[in-house]
Amino acid sequence: MVDRSDIGAVVDAMYACISGPAGPRDWTTQREIFHPDSRQARTGLDADGRPTMIVMGREAYVANVTPFFAENGFFEVEISRRITEFGNMAHVWSVYEARTAPEDAEPERRGINSIQLCRGPDGLWSILHMIWDNERPGLTASA
């Protein structure tokens, strides 16, 4: 059970539920911390250098990443966080590094997760939107 009264605990749980060795993930936490109407958006560039984006709800995200996680170790670790809060909304800029194994000397990728959270009638935080992009030449992650 995640302490959803704490924005940091929600973000920590998000990283924990996607990180692990090759194999299945337990998506119980993801369903607990993401709002039922949440959207996640992976951005990047296509082969011609044009912006791309895939937008997914909770179950579409699980379907999208399950084949990758089945075959690959993936450990995403937050290295910097900035939280701003106003009333029942919060925004988190979260810089991450991803490795195929925790002991890898160099990250396989770095980037930023932009996370919007909302506080519900129960007073608890849920992730409503999350969009991310990875570093590439000319684009360096910093919060």
| CA within 13 Å, CB half, 22 | 6
DSSP string, 34-91: EEEEEEEEEEEE-TTS-EEEEEE-HHHHHHHHHHHHHH--BEEEEEEEEEEEETTEEE
**What is the mean pLDDT for each group of 10 consecutive residues in the chain (143 residues)?**
96 97 96 97 95 97 97 96 98 97 94 98 98 92 73
pTM for the model: 0.94
- C-alpha 59: how far from its chain's center? 15
Q: What does residue 4 show for φ and ψ, rounded to 5 degrees?
A: -80, 5
